[in-house]
Amino acid sequence: MQVDYDALDKTIAALTEGETDAVALMATVVCEVHHADSRFDWTGFYRVTEPGLLKIGPYQGGHGCLQIPFSRGVCGAAARTGEIQLVPDVDAFPGHIACASSTRSEIVLPVCDGDGRLIAVFDIDSDQPDAFTESDAARLGGLLDAVFARI
Which one of residues 5, 40, 42, 70 is an interface residue with ligand SME (CB under 6 A)?
42
Does 86 sit near ligand SME (CB under 6 A)? no
Contacts with ligand SME by CB under 6 A: the residue count is 13
Residue 74 or residue 131: which is nearer to ligand SME going by CB?
A: 74
Which one of residues 3, 26, 99, 131 is an interface residue with ligand SME (CB under 6 A)?
99
Q: Which segment (11-19, 24-32, 64-72, 142-150) binds ligand SME by CB under 6 A? A: 64-72
Which one of residues 3, 123, 143, 144 is an interface residue with ligand SME (CB under 6 A)?
123
Does 73 sit near ligand SME (CB under 6 A)? yes
DSSP string, the chain: ----HHHHHHHHHHHHTT---HHHHHHHHHHHHHTT-TT-SEEEEEEEEETTEEEEEEEESS---SEEETTSHHHHHHHHH-S-EEES-GGGSTT---SSTT--EEEEEEEE-TTS-EEEEEEEEESSTT---HHHHHHHHHHHHHHHTT-
Which one of residues 15, 97, 137, 151 is an interface residue with ligand SME (CB under 6 A)?
97
Query: How far apart, in whole angstroms, are the C-alpha atoms of residue 149 and residue 77?
Result: 22
Residue closest to ligand SME, measured at CB: 73
Strand 118-126 with 42-50, pairing? antiparallel
Residue 27 or residue 65: which is nearer to ligand SME going by CB?
A: 65
Enumerate binding residues for ligand SME (CB under 6 A). 42, 64-65, 68, 73-75, 96-97, 99, 106, 123, 125
